[in-house]
């Protein structure tokens, strides 16, 4: 069960598993294939992808939709028509209209938040069986008119005569007619995430060569996991396709080294290849108490031991959330790096992952930043993202958390690991980490 941690630090939201036996468990998880935006999911909206994933989860588990108590779902780039994508995806998947659903948005950890919200509902006795996850499409993002045009369009509702409409054109500039794509810069700082990550990599001494090698490793690991059928176990086919199409198993260091910096020019270290790409996809997981799962004949994948959310200064530590979250969470659970057999870290950028790992190895970070007193230490790279990550598989903002928790649990069972940890950064200088334990 989950309970608020006593004495939680300021700016920290966490819910910890008690030592009670009736834990909250991940029964199963599934996702659509992840495709680069503008490709195979080009004609689908996020609600389509969400209903695909939820329907796939229901089919895999054999759950009667009428038995569900709640649906929580994550989404970042919202379409006005389906702003509560949790509800629309649930209805589209055949879940009865009597089952409530709500959408959460927390940038790249939206699905993580949806999952932990679902767990909290179960802990609070508000639900016994919850579907959680998230969906995202970057193939069909809302593109709007400029503010001057929007103001005039709204004002036009009061226009009655031709002269009234002509007056609305007064003061309108040609530039105002250009459509506006969603902003990619941080609202609070005005800085693009890739630029901030490039600066952070320089701060932690992460070289371009290290980043390219990590990116190549991600693609090669994902390609092998695809060829071995490992990733296929988590993917439900959509339109006959059951694999991620952004994986480049034939990539080489020479190809990666040939690319120019994408954010800090001309001397930056982040390129298109060692940065995650825009992706379409959806994920869904089934949560319930361990006793209920076993009574229904399920063998849960894993139990939620503990989780945490953190936030930092977005101007200087935009993507350092995983290091803070991991350090705080491991201290609270009394676990050392060598006790965790599975590590799944969201790969927004290769430099971001490597910078967070450097922070975990730092005495000064532990003492002055995370305030944990003792550093986590170095992590065996063989334990990290063994089947690829966001750099290769892709990163649909609202869905990635569902992929990572499912992969973590499956790896724990496959590798016979007692504990697994997953962590991710998010826009706004936020972060999340969760520890799973074997059932």
- Catalytic site positions: 108, 395, 425
3-state secondary structure of 432: strand
- What is the distance between the alpha carbons of residues 420 and 425, in angstroms, rounded to a whole number? 17
Q: Give the position of tokens 């006593």.
A: 6
Sign of the four-CA dihedral 432, 413, 28, 392: positive
Contact between 136 and 108 under an 8 Å Cβ cutoff? The reply is no
Q: Where are the beta strands (DSSP E) in 22-100?
A: 24-31, 35-36, 70-74
Contact between 65 and 99 under an 8 Å Cβ cutoff? The reply is yes
Beta-bridge partner residues of 424: 432
Q: Give the position of tokens 């988590």.
A: 234
Per-residue buried b or exposed e for 14-35, using 16+ beta carbons within 10 Å of the residue's own CB: bbbbeeeeebbbbbbbbbbbbb
Q: Which of 278, 299, 226, 221 is nearest to 398 (CA)?
A: 278
Which residues, 6 or more positions from 384, have their beta carbon under 8 angstroms from its beta carbon? Answer: 343, 344, 345
Are β-strands 129-136 and 70-74 bridged in parallel, bridged antiparallel, or unpaired? Answer: parallel
Instruction: Tell me the C-alpha to C-alpha distance, in Å, between residue 296 and each of 29, 153, 233, 409.
Output: 17, 55, 22, 20
- What is the distance between the alpha carbons of residues 4 and 99, in angstroms, rounded to a whole number? 27
Q: Which of 148, 141, 117, 155 is nearest to 285 (CA)?
A: 117
Q: Which of 159, 99, 158 is nearest to 129 (CA)?
A: 99
Q: Which of 365, 351, 317, 340 is nearest to 421 (CA)?
A: 340
Query: Helix, strand, coil: what percent of the chain each, to 5?
Result: 40, 20, 40
Contact between 289 and 226 under an 8 Å Cβ cutoff? The reply is no
Cis peptide preceding 266, ω within 30 of 0: yes
Structure tokens at 108: 């790249």
């Amino acid at each position: 069960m989950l309970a608020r941690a006593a004495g939680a630090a300021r700016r920290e939201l966490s819910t910890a598993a008690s030592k009670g036996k009736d834990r909250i468990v991940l029964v199963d998880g599934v996702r659509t294939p992840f495709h680069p935006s503008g490709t195979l999911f080009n004609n689908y909206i996020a609600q389509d992808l969400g209903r695909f994933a939820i329907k796939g989860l229901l089919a895999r588990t054999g759950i009667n939709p009428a038995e569900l108590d709640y649906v929580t779902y994550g989404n970042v780039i919202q379409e006005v028509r389906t702003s509560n994508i949790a509800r629309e995806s649930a209805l589209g998947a055949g879940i009865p209209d009597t089952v409530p659903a709500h959408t959460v948005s927390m940038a790249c950890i939206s699905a993580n938040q949806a999952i932990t919200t679902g767990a909290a509902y179960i802990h609070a006795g508000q639900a016994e069986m919850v579907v959680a996850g998230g969906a995202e499409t970057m193939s069909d993002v809302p593109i709007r008119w400029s503010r001057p045009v929007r103001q005039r369009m709204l004002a036009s509702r009061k226009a009655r005569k031709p002269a009234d409409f002509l007056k609305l054109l007064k003061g309108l500039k040609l530039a105002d007619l250009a459509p506006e794509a969603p902003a990619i810069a941080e609202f609070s700082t005005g800085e693009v995430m890739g630029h901030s990550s490039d600066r952070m990599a320089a701060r932690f001494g992460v070289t371009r060569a290290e980043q390219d090698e990590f990116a190549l490793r991600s693609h090669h690991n994902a390609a092998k996991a695809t060829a071995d059928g490992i990733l296929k176990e988590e993917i439900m086919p959509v339109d006959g396709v059951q694999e991620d199409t952004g994986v480049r198993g034939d990539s080489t260091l020479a190809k990666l080294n040939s690319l120019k910096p994408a954010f800090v020019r001309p001397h930056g270290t982040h390129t298109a290849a060692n940065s995650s790409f825009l992706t379409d996809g959806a994920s869904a997981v089934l949560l319930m108490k361990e006793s209920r799962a076993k009574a229904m004949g399920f063998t849960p994948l894993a139990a939620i031991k503990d989780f945490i959310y953190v936030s930092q200064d977005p101007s200087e530590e935009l993507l350092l959330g995983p290091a803070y979250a991991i350090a705080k969470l491991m201290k609270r659970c009394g676990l050392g790096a060598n006790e965790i057999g599975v590590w799944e870290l969201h790969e927004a950028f290769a430099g971001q992952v490597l910078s967070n790992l450097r922070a975990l190895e730092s005495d000064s970070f532990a003492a002055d930043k995370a305030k944990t007193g003792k550093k986590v230490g170095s992590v065996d790279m063989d334990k990290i993202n063994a089947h690829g990550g966001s750099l290769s598989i892709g990163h649909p903002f609202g869905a990635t958390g569902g992929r990572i928790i499912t992969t973590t649990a499956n790896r724990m069972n496959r590798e016979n690991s007692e504990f697994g940890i997953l962590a991710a950064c998010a826009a706004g200088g936020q972060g999340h980490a969760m520890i799973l334990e074997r059932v």
